[in-house]
Chains A and B, each alone.
Chain A
């Protein structure tokens, strides 16, 4: 089954404790992306990657890191989480084309930083 998987689905942590949220897709998509969803703000893009070893900042990259060492995986790293990073996070992937791509979203990771 074609899908985007994220782990963990729920996470409670404390300020400053490094964490990684994994994202994996089995559709051989070039494009992968991370978003955060907050009430009243919709989805905001954190980082995206157009292929292996190619990453770019989205609208809200501060406090986050990403890496794309393999085509299928795109982990999101919070080196020193803070309470303002409490949010619902989505990973997405799509084939790369002429701007018509459908993004396939993972189920989301709900993060609470105390």
Chain B
């Protein structure tokens, strides 16, 4: 079946530290991969996406590369800010099983000054 596994949180970092949030997936067919971000009290917003192997999604200093060989889509940022504090969700969608979305459990990030 399809599923997404994210690293457990919470994660606490100092401002300007390097961030990695691991995400691996299991999927039938060739999924599209996404990172969504949820700020406190809000709905989810798309952060970045990649639709095929070796694609790199990037936005607001965040990056993730679609690695088919390791079935991974790790999120990285070189220098985090306090405003990056949020919950981050990895997700996949595959039209092979009917355009259904699968989300990871979310990783809470807190950045301290």
| CB closest chain-A residue, reference B4 | A42
Tell me, yes or no, whether B79 is within 8 Å of chain A by CB. Answer: no
Which B residues are in CB contact (< 8 Å) with A45? Answer: 100-103
Complex-state Cα separation, A102 to B95, whole angstroms: 14
Q: Which of B36, B49, B91 contacts A100 (CB 8 A)?
A: B49
CA distance A59 to B89 in the complex (A): 17
17 A-B residue pairings within 8 Å (CB atoms):
A35-B103, A40-B105, A42-B6, A44-B103, A50-B99, A56-B99, A58-B100, A59-B100, A59-B102, A90-B44, A92-B44, A98-B95, A99-B31, A99-B94, A100-B51, A105-B43, A105-B44
Range for the number of chain B residues in contact with chain A: 20 to 34
Asked if B105 and A103 make an inter-chain contact with CB atoms under 8 angstroms apart, the answer reads no
Question: B residues touching A (Cβ–Cβ < 8 Å)?
Answer: 6, 31-32, 36, 42-46, 49, 51, 89, 91, 93-95, 98-106
Tell me the A residues contacting B by CB distance below 8 Å: 4, 31, 33, 35, 40-45, 48, 50, 56, 58-59, 90, 92, 96, 98-103, 105-108
